[in-house]
Amino acid sequence: MAASILNVRDLHFYLFELFDAQALTARPRYAEHSKETYLAAIETGRKIAQRYFLPIRQKVDVQQPTFDGKQVHMLPEIKPAIDAVIQSGLACPEADYEWGGMQLPAIVASVATSFLSAAGSTTLGYTSLTNANCNLIEAHGTPEQIAKWVVPMRQGRFAGTMAMTEPSAGSGLADLATSATRTEEGRYLITGNKIFISGGDHNLSENIVHLVLARIKGAPKGIKGVSLFIVPKYLVDETGAVGSRNDVSLAGLFHKMGGRGQTSCAINFGEQGGSIGYLVGEENQGIRYMFHMMNEARIMVGTSAALTALSGYQYSLDYAKERRQGRLPSSRDPLSAPVRIIEHADVRRMLLAQKAYAEGAYSLCLFGAQLADDVRTAPDEAERRSAKVLLDFLTPIIKSWPSEYGPRANSLAIQVLGGHGYTNEHPVEMFYRDNRLNSIHEGTYGVQSLDLLARKVPADNMAGYTNCISRMRDDIETATQHPALQEPAAALLAAIQVLEETTGAVLGGMQKLHIDLALANSVKYLELFGNVVVAWMWLKQGIAASAGLARDPHADDRNFYLGKLQALKYFYAYELPEIQVWKQILCDFEDAFYMAREEWF
Amino acid sequence: MAASILNVRDLHFYLFELFDAQALTARPRYAEHSKETYLAAIETGRKIAQRYFLPIRQKVDVQQPTFDGKQVHMLPEIKPAIDAVIQSGLACPEADYEWGGMQLPAIVASVATSFLSAAGSTTLGYTSLTNANCNLIEAHGTPEQIAKWVVPMRQGRFAGTMAMTEPSAGSGLADLATSATRTEEGRYLITGNKIFISGGDHNLSENIVHLVLARIKGAPKGIKGVSLFIVPKYLVDETGAVGSRNDVSLAGLFHKMGGRGQTSCAINFGEQGGSIGYLVGEENQGIRYMFHMMNEARIMVGTSAALTALSGYQYSLDYAKERRQGRLPSSRDPLSAPVRIIEHADVRRMLLAQKAYAEGAYSLCLFGAQLADDVRTAPDEAERRSAKVLLDFLTPIIKSWPSEYGPRANSLAIQVLGGHGYTNEHPVEMFYRDNRLNSIHEGTYGVQSLDLLARKVPADNMAGYTNCISRMRDDIETATQHPALQEPAAALLAAIQVLEETTGAVLGGMQKLHIDLALANSVKYLELFGNVVVAWMWLKQGIAASAGLARDPHADDRNFYLGKLQALKYFYAYELPEIQVWKQILCDFEDAFYMAREEWF
């Protein structure tokens, strides 16, 4: 079967019709860009994915990295794949030209790397984490730190990680036990154990730069006493030359269900007395700095989940168009030839649901990227601030919705292929395994739901919430100008009403009820808000598709737009109505599990 | 962490409180049984699971069977595990004493093998498929065939399979191409390729007895021309001695995402001119006979899905009681010790949902087993007929609901363990992979939904449907006598109303609309009916738990019953209300995917 990774037409739709990425070239930072340079970057990503990533997709999964007690052994083909990404500039597509980046807007960078992520999300993980590490040090480090660590990382000679989780403190950053002791030279000696460090060790680069959260001796307890350190695998002298090993050692690799292209490491810092670390920014501000990287990582997680969903959708679609099996219920003739399975309504259900989930999720991630671009380069200060408020607000949804619906899409892709989808003849079972991590790492689903409800909604006089609702109303206004969008526009308006009533009730409960009870259904709130936001993204796509249809396009484009409208119809008929059920649960402060006592289980 | 596989108290609840399995000992077939013999059988299963299955659980998954082109190599520890099952009688617990069985009722047999299934569902697969194969030949074969094939299978010397699927006809049995030619000796020469044959080859037995669907030359097209054949791997002479190889060869093994204890094989029949096969029953009746085994296999699939869900629930529950992490939202003191994660409301959500899914699913499977017992041994003819009607009707739901909600439960088990759950430090990721097959094999989710809506509901003047609704109403009547069950009883009554209205609308549509459109949302109908049936099972459990509480039990039992009532409460508050959304879709004949044209994707 011909292996198509993603639908290029669809990617162009997001960039040039749904979001006006071309308009960004009017901003000074992107002045040298044009539609042509965007397309060239996307084509570069596609070619590298096709040439380096796709051929090793299965091997990366089957031949997991191993650790012989001394060093990590990886599939040799991973390095050339990563090197190709680095040489193309796609390892840091948003970075300044002077760092070897492409200085692309975030939204274009996302699309330019989409083929790589879809064909090998965890192989791409090495460069994208390194990129996020650089961004943090650029924002909060000293010029010396930037010169020493960021420059070689941008060049692809060094790689970067973030090291937060500890064996006895998973999501609980307040309980981090890794310690840092200040030395006379103004450096720190770091001692502690970290786990689940993605890309924490490998043989792909000259050095690995860990960003490590640790507590300086005597610092306050809790998250207010946590600082951030640069802790390299190898020490580097003033000339930038890589020298002796730091006291950083790999304790072991985790064997994961999926995402096997990227090592997940347990690392011991300071077993020989203390690994040398360099403080980033000020003492006790580590959590704040780390969230610079973390927020970026959360959007990366959502994006990866969405692209893995898109990849499975595309694969199962290609399969369904070729594979022949069975007959329609209306067929009375056992002598007739079996139909292609896309002719079965239930197979189209599984395809259209995947389309609605995957394209809904990815459009949301790109909306987030567009906001990130506005935060950085919108000409108007108020516009920049508004974008920041909304992006902060939406981050838990951008992280969570694709991570929840992405695996559902991948499960449907398996189902389309039937028994074949359950075997490694096809990649869909790998997508399903890969995608399952996304609702865990960088803050679990539950953690995101508390972030949304307890922090982001009330924050700053509900500024993010209000901003979000108000933008939705603007788009509803636009949608009502298209005859084909009257129904979904009205439905989204009604959904906003549901959201408003629910939010009012829950915030009221947070005042009146025990806070643990008031927050107990936070996951349902995240689900409700998520479905409304994705319905909004579908309405946005409906507007763009309607505009496209109004231009009387050629047949292929016409079909493409009709497909968008059909996925919108599906989402509004089958998915959006669920919010009524969740509203009831939330407004009633349903307490079935809250009241469930441990001894009852 | 101590590895508890299943909760014994819960299993006893099903057998002795929810369903009165002890009453079955009044029937002649089970006259030699008593509560003590039941408990002994269960304890035997538990011990074998603990001693043979649990220690190799991970190895079975990691060290998949391999095929060197000549023979299959399997983890050596699998054979002693299976031998222990055979020697205990648990390979065929329902079979007659004279065959080496335990002559147990089906419901007790299910519980007696539950630990084995929960600790190694695919290892147990070898004996349970062999058992189902024997049951088919006993029902439809000749005395000679029984003597020649069933006896050695019952003795554990031979193993059995069913070989239906072909590369170009997955769910489409009408398109089977394997052919059979009658020889002068009255035997048949079979030629064709079969795939996904579970246990199709291995080194665990002296011989393998395939039940093969094939088309006799000149037979009618479609399913009316399919016959069933016994095709052994090795030929057997009149004395029962195993002789030369039949023309049956292993073409290869599939590498599956899960369920790796059991080989999944591609087998070529008749590459050297024709494998010798023996007709079962009459010509062209193969599909009917195969459904004898298939219906049993469908219930086995549901049961395995339910037990894998229970196993993950138990594991994550044990973990949540020990693991400490984070603090409650109400805690303002960062110096306080982290709580055990079961203290977090959201973790209790994930545990209670698992409990509701897994125990709801398993109680449904055991209800099916009880019906099977009544079909076989109820003293009254009308009772036997009524049980048969209801069991036939419920089979697609017993197969599907656990297969759909079991993986959801297993996903929640992973989530409770967080990042750790995604690694092979713990078995929950394996459960998740293992369970994913269950909505595919023995008839996919879509196939089951069409079976329910297009066949089972209208069949025989809606006899199964009516029987089901009427039994639900009886239990609602009983439930209203318990003060604690007023609410769920009323809710189930309302749910029946939803079901009735929906069924009326859909059946009406099947008359008036194009049949392909009328059936397009069949999966939603299956979901709706499934949730109502499982709500019913929870009401049944609520009745038994209320009765238990009324006996003023000791503290442990009291907590156990309160846990049942809490899971009931959860299911009615969080899961049952979804049927309103699905009703709307069904009654509106929502056509989003039905109308979606291929070229729009």
Q: Is B435 within a domain?
A: no
The pLDDT score that the predictor gives to residue B566 is: 98
The pLDDT score that the predictor gives to residue B559 is: 98
For B340, nearest residue in chain A (alpha carbons): A598
A123 Ramachandran zone, left/alpha/beta (phi>0; psi -120 to 50): alpha
Chain A residues touching residue B325 (CB < 8 angstroms): 168-172, 175
Query: How much is the average pLDDT of B32-51?
Result: 97
Q: What is the CA angle B110-B112-B114, rounded to 5?
A: 65
State the pairing for strand pair B207-216/B158-163. parallel
- Is residue B436 within 8 Å of B361, Cβ to Cβ? no
Q: B136 with B266, same domain? A: no
For B253, nearest residue in chain A (alpha carbons): A423
Chain B residues touching residue A345 (CB < 8 angstroms): 516-517, 519-520, 593-594
CB contact under 8 A, B257 and A517: no
Owner of token pair 């016994």: B230
Query: How much is the average pLDDT of B162-189?
Result: 89
Q: State the CATH number of the domain containing residue A100.
A: 1.10.540.10
Q: Which of B6, B257, B511 should be substituted to probe chain A, the one whose Cβ sees the most A Cβ atoms within 10 Å?
A: B257
Q: B53 with B130, same domain? A: yes
Quick one: pLDDT band at residue A333, thresholds 50, 70, 90?
confident
- Is residue B400 within 8 Å of B47, Cβ to Cβ? no
Quick one: pLDDT band at residue A460, thresholds 50, 70, 90?
very high
Q: B67 with B192, same domain? A: no
The pLDDT score that the predictor gives to residue B120 is: 87
- Is residue B264 within 8 Å of B441, Cβ to Cβ? no
Residue B1 has pLDDT above 60, yes or no: no
Q: Is B532 within a domain?
A: yes
For B519, nearest residue in chain A (alpha carbons): A329
CA–CA dist A33, A118 (Å, integer): 25
The pLDDT > 70 percentage for chain B reads: 99
CB contact under 8 A, B592 and A353: no
Quick one: pLDDT band at residue A108, thresholds 50, 70, 90?
very high
Last residue of a domain, one of A105, A125, A150: A150
Q: B22 with B103, same domain? A: yes
CA–CA dist A378, A385 (Å, integer): 9
For A519, nearest residue in chain B (alpha carbons): B329
Last residue of a domain, one of B265, B285, B305: B285
The partner residues of A67 in beta bridges, in order of sequence, read: A72
CA–CA dist B294, B139 (Å, integer): 13
Q: Does B334 touch chain A (CB under 8 A)?
A: yes
CA–CA dist A250, A66 (Å, integer): 12
Chain B residues touching residue A416 (CB < 8 angstroms): none
Query: How much is the average pLDDT of A88-107?
Result: 93
Q: Does A415 touch chain B (CB under 8 A)?
A: yes
Q: B124 with B192, same domain? A: no
Task: Say how far residue A399 (Cα) sits from the centre of its chain.
Answer: 6
Query: How much is the average pLDDT of B511-535?
Result: 97
Query: How much is the average pLDDT of B22-51?
Result: 97
The pLDDT score that the predictor gives to residue B294 is: 87
Q: What is the DSSP letter of B18?
A: I
3-state DSSP call for residue A218? Answer: coil
| Rounded alpha-carbon distances, angstroms, from residue B449 to A133, B370, B463, B505, B525 | 50, 23, 18, 17, 7
Query: How much is the average pLDDT of B543-564?
Result: 97
B365 Ramachandran zone, left/alpha/beta (phi>0; psi -120 to 50): alpha
Axis crossing angle, helix A286-322 with helix A345-377, rounded to the nearest 10? 150
Nearest Cα of chain B lies from the Cα of A40 at a distance, in angstroms, of: 25
The pLDDT score that the predictor gives to residue B497 is: 98
Chain A residues touching residue B342 (CB < 8 angstroms): 598, 601
Task: For chains A and B, count residue pairs whose Cβ atoms are closer than 8 Å.
Answer: 277
| Rounded alpha-carbon distances, angstroms, from residue B436 to A82, A425, B224, B302, B557 | 33, 16, 32, 12, 34
Query: What is the token pair recorded at A132?
Result: 């996020």
Task: Say how far residue A587 (Cα) sits from the centre of its chain.
Answer: 30
Owner of token pair 């538990």: B46
- Is residue B264 within 8 Å of B272, Cβ to Cβ? no
Q: Is A432 within a domain?
A: no
Query: How much is the average pLDDT of A474-502?
Result: 97
- Strands (E) across A347-461 are located at none
Nearest Cα of chain B lies from the Cα of A453 at a distance, in angstroms, of: 12
Q: Does A553 touch chain B (CB under 8 A)?
A: no
Using CB atoms, which residue from A415, A436, A598 is nearest to B342? A598
Query: How much is the average pLDDT of B401-430?
Result: 97
Query: What DSSP element (H or E) covers A414?
Result: helix A381-417
Which of A207, A217, A222 minimizes the C-alpha distance to A179? Answer: A217
The pLDDT score that the predictor gives to residue A48 is: 97
Of the residues A359, A442, A527, A575, only one is catalytic, namely A442
Quick one: pLDDT band at residue A12, thresholds 50, 70, 90?
very high
Q: Is B259 within a domain?
A: yes
The pLDDT score that the predictor gives to residue A363 is: 98
Instruction: Count Cα neighbours of B483 within 13 Å in the Cβ-side half-sphere.
Output: 2
State the pairing for strand pair A179-182/A207-216. parallel
Q: What is the 3-state secondary structure (H, E, C) of A31-77?
A: CCCCHHHHHHHHHHHHHHHHHHHHHHHHHHHHCCCEECCCCEECCCC
Higher pLDDT, B359 or A98: B359
Owner of token pair 């093969």: B212
Q: Which of A343, A562, A600 should be substituted to probe chain B, the one whose Cβ sees the most B Cβ atoms within 10 Å?
A: A600
CB contact under 8 A, B520 and A346: yes
> How confident is the model over A373-402, as pLDDT tens digits?
999 999 999 999 999 999 999 999 999 999
The pLDDT score that the predictor gives to residue B146 is: 96
- Is residue A572 within 8 Å of A538, Cβ to Cβ? yes
Query: What DSSP element (H or E) covers B136?
Result: helix B114-140
Quick one: pLDDT band at residue A170, thresholds 50, 70, 90?
low
Quick one: pLDDT band at residue B14, thresholds 50, 70, 90?
very high
> How confident is the model over B45-87, as pLDDT tens digits?
999 999 999 999 999 999 999 999 999 999 999 999 999 999 9
Nearest Cα of chain A lies from the Cα of B356 at a distance, in angstroms, of: 11
CA–CA dist A318, A5 (Å, integer): 10
For A423, nearest residue in chain B (alpha carbons): B256
The pLDDT score that the predictor gives to residue A265 is: 96
- Is residue B321 within 8 Å of B135, Cβ to Cβ? no
Owner of token pair 């403190």: A169
> How confident is the model over A28-81, as pLDDT tens digits?
999 999 999 999 999 999 999 999 999 999 999 999 999 999 999 999 999 999
> How confident is the model over B85-142, as pLDDT tens digits?
999 999 999 999 988 899 999 999 999 999 999 998 788 899 999 999 999 999 999 9
Using CB atoms, which residue from A516, A590, A597 is nearest to B573? A590
Axis crossing angle, helix A578-587 with helix B578-587, rounded to the nearest 10? 160
Query: How much is the average pLDDT of A232-242?
Result: 95
Instruction: Count Cα neighbours of A175 within 13 Å in the Cβ-side half-sphere.
Output: 18
The partner residues of A230 in beta bridges, in order of sequence, read: A211, A278
> How confident is the model over B186-201, as pLDDT tens digits?
899 999 999 999 999 9
Q: Is A65 within a domain?
A: yes
For chain A, the domain total comes to 2
Q: Is A26 within a domain?
A: yes
The pLDDT score that the predictor gives to residue B114 is: 97
Quick one: pLDDT band at residue B529, thresholds 50, 70, 90?
very high
- Kindly report which listed range (A96-100, A236-240, A421-425) carries the lowest average pLDDT score: A96-100
3-state DSSP call for residue A552? Answer: coil
CB contact under 8 A, A596 and B421: no
Query: What is the token pair recorded at B469?
Result: 């609704």
The pLDDT score that the predictor gives to residue B222 is: 87
Dihedral angle of Cα A387, A388, A391, A396, to the nearest 10 degrees:
-160
| Rounded alpha-carbon distances, angstroms, from residue B516 to A162, A553, B509 | 53, 31, 10
Residue A332 has pLDDT above 80, yes or no: no
CB contact under 8 A, B171 and A418: yes
Residue A526: domain span: 461-601
Task: Give the ipTM of the model, two decimals please.
Answer: 0.97
Chain B residues touching residue A569 (CB < 8 angstroms): 592
> How confident is the model over B331-388, as pLDDT tens digits?
878 778 899 999 999 999 999 999 999 999 999 999 999 999 999 999 999 999 999 9
Using CB atoms, which residue from B441, B573, B593 is nearest to A348? B593
For B419, nearest residue in chain A (alpha carbons): A440
3-state DSSP call for residue B587? Answer: helix
Query: What is the token pair recorded at A531?
Result: 């479905």
The partner residues of A72 in beta bridges, in order of sequence, read: A67
Query: How much is the average pLDDT of A214-223?
Result: 92
Q: B126 with B165, same domain? A: no
- Is residue A134 within 8 Å of A101, Cβ to Cβ? no
- Strands (E) across B233-378 are located at 234-236, 242-245, 248-253, 264-269, 275-279
Of the residues B166, B296, B442, B575, only one is catalytic, namely B442
CA–CA dist B6, B355 (Å, integer): 12
Task: Determine if the pTM surpasses 0.95.
Answer: yes
Burial class of residue B68 in the structure, from the number of CB atoms within 10 Å of its CB (0-12 exposed, 13-18 middle, 19+ buried): exposed
Q: Is A293 within a domain?
A: no
3-state DSSP call for residue A186? Answer: coil
- Is residue B445 within 8 Å of B400, Cβ to Cβ? yes
Q: B464 with B600, same domain? A: yes
CB contact under 8 A, A334 and B411: no
What does residue B239 show for φ and ψ, rounded to 5 degrees? -80, -5
Query: How much is the average pLDDT of B448-455?
Result: 97
Q: B525 with B597, same domain? A: yes
Last residue of a domain, one of B150, B185, B208: B150
Residue A148 has pLDDT above 90, yes or no: yes
Q: B50 with B85, same domain? A: yes
- Kindly report which listed range (A159-173, A452-466, B285-299, B428-442) carries the lowest average pLDDT score: A159-173
The pLDDT score that the predictor gives to residue B3 is: 61
The pLDDT score that the predictor gives to residue B292 is: 83
Q: Is A313 within a domain?
A: no
Q: What is the DSSP letter of B169?
A: B
Told to judge if B442 belongs to the known catalytic residues of this protein, a careful annotator would answer yes
Query: What is the token pair recorded at A201?
Result: 């060790």
Residue A1 has pLDDT above 60, yes or no: no
Q: B144 with B190, same domain? A: no
Rg (CA), chain B: 24
Average pLDDT in chain B: 95
The partner residues of B209 in beta bridges, in order of sequence, read: B160, B232
- Sign of the CA dihedral B332, B334, B336, B341? positive
Please provide the size of chain A in residues: 601
Chain A residues touching residue B221 (CB < 8 angstroms): 334-335
Using CB atoms, which residue from B343, B345, B573 is nearest to A585? B573
Q: B265 with B200, same domain? A: yes
Which of B224, B208, B197, B210 minimizes the C-alpha distance to B282? Answer: B224
Q: B208 with B135, same domain? A: no
CB contact under 8 A, B324 and A429: no
